[in-house]
Amino acid sequence: MSDDAGGPLSEVGLVQMLTTTGERVPHPDLDLYAAELDADALRAMYRDLVLARRFDREATALQRQGELALFAPAEGQEGAQIGSAHALRPQDHVFPSYREHGVGLVRGVDATQILRLFRGVDHGGWDPTAHGFHLYTLVVGSHTLHATGYAMGLARDGLVGTGRPERDAAVVVYFGDGATAQGDVHEAMVFASVNTAPLVFFCQNNQWAISVPTTRQAVVPIADRAPGLGIPSVRVDGNDVVACYAVTRWALERARSGLGPVFVEALTYRMGAHTTSDDPTRYRDAAEEQRWRERDPIDRLHAHLTASGQLPQVFLDEIETAADALGEKLRTEVRALGRASTSGMFDHVYATEHAQVSADACGRGTR
């Protein structure tokens, strides 16, 4: 990490509630939001962290075995994803980019379905409404606009600020540091701000926009951009699952109550490649990766739970079994997905029948 207090990687003002050695440190404002995290809740998070990582490694292997055309690994970012996802309520809606596998798993999306897109079978195999988890968007940053519109719609539907916890809803949009250099993201922030949209901008600053470091994207912390657009922002240790949970929960409650958007910058690190198509050793060094490996989100929670004797071996064994089962399930089910039918591309262009699409489908032949 840079020691430059003013730079984009500055740790000044960074919210941390679990140190790298797993020690829980108090936070004057946010302890309130972490109060519900008892041992069971933390163990549930730990389980999700481990399963998300196994999902990641298994999917990467499947790509290397020719079963997936592509994969975007999230290893290293599980803390930011699992922590923030656990702060969601069922009625909330998530707009992921293409790397939020951990969030998807927490939202109950079947692991195999996440990989349909990466195999090229279809654009995503789950019902976004059923899971409150939108389909992945590969176009960088554009979904922040979709999320803003969706959030504005929630407000117009009267689902914000009613004071009924089971009813009030908010939206979280996940994106990366690279996306913040896109015009779309700024436009979304302007709209969300002036419309008081119930929206949490959750930026996982994983330090690398493919091969371009954050230092080439910003000269101030990315979170510092938001207040200029009228959006309060917070920087959080993205590998601290507790802090990510607390910060997101605060932001969501604020949004649901009708106080408008919040911008969260979670400092984390993508341990793998941007996608299976690139080679990170060409643009960053092993020492940097090692520094971040020492900040690993799973190790940190493991240390915390172990120190307090809350991580019995039987629990770890059970997770290990579940992870192995997940791997086996993915290997079997992904291979069984087959491949896309050519005619399938016409099925979801419009919700209702459309003359041109029907004509194209016929001209193309049926298979």
Interatomic CA distance for residues 224 and 13, integer angstroms: 11
Interatomic CA distance for residues 305 and 299, integer angstroms: 10
Q: Is 142 helix (H, G, I), strand (E, B) or coil?
A: coil
Interatomic CA distance for residues 16 and 266, integer angstroms: 11
HSE value, Cβ hemisphere, 13 Å, CA-based, for 353: 4
List 4, 12, 36, 65, residue binding other proteins (CB under 8 A):
65
Interatomic CA distance for residues 248 and 152, integer angstroms: 19
End-to-end CA distance of the chain: 54
**206 is an interface residue for other proteins by CB under 8 A:** no
Residue nearer to other proteins on the CB measure, 66 or 183: 66
Nearest to 265 by CA among 177, 142, 146: 177
Interatomic CA distance for residues 150 and 201, integer angstroms: 13
**68 is an interface residue for other proteins by CB under 8 A:** yes
**210 is an interface residue for other proteins by CB under 8 A:** yes
List 138, 286, 359, 362, residue binding other proteins (CB under 8 A):
138
Residue nearer to other proteins on the CB measure, 44 or 210: 210
**340 is an interface residue for other proteins by CB under 8 A:** yes
Interatomic CA distance for residues 59 and 65, integer angstroms: 10
Stretch that binds other proteins, among 146-154, 261-269, 331-339, 352-360 (CB under 8 A): 331-339
**72 is an interface residue for other proteins by CB under 8 A:** yes
Smallest gap from residue 335 Cβ to other proteins (A):
8
Q: Is 208 helix (H, G, I), strand (E, B) or coil?
A: strand
Interatomic CA distance for residues 148 and 171, integer angstroms: 8
**175 is an interface residue for other proteins by CB under 8 A:** no
Phi/psi for 209 (5° steps) reads -90, 90
List 157, 183, 339, 363, residue binding other proteins (CB under 8 A):
339
- Residue 231 has what DSSP assignment? -
Q: Which residues in the 279-308 window bind other proteins by CB under 8 A?
A: 279, 281-282
User: 106 near 48, Cβ under 8 Å?
Assistant: yes
* Size of the residue set binding other proteins (CB under 8 A): 37
**100 is an interface residue for other proteins by CB under 8 A:** no
Smallest gap from residue 54 Cβ to other proteins (A):
11
CA 246 from chain centre, in angstroms, equals 15
Residue nearer to other proteins on the CB measure, 156 or 364: 364
Q: Is 253 helix (H, G, I), strand (E, B) or coil?
A: helix
Stretch that binds other proteins, among 31-39, 41-49, 66-74, 238-246 (CB under 8 A): 66-74
Smallest gap from residue 272 Cβ to other proteins (A):
12
In which residue are the tokens 């481990």 written? 50
Residue nearer to other proteins on the CB measure, 1 or 340: 340
Phi/psi for 171 (5° steps) reads -125, 140
Catalytic residue IDs: 270, 274, 283
Q: Which residues in the 1-40 window bind other proteins by CB under 8 A?
A: none
Interatomic CA distance for residues 167 and 108, integer angstroms: 20
Residue nearer to other proteins on the CB measure, 164 or 339: 339
Residue nearer to other proteins on the CB measure, 90 or 120: 120
**119 is an interface residue for other proteins by CB under 8 A:** yes
Contact residues: other proteins, CB under 8 A: 57-58, 61, 63-70, 72, 98, 119-121, 138-140, 178, 209-210, 273-279, 281-282, 327, 331, 335, 339-340, 342
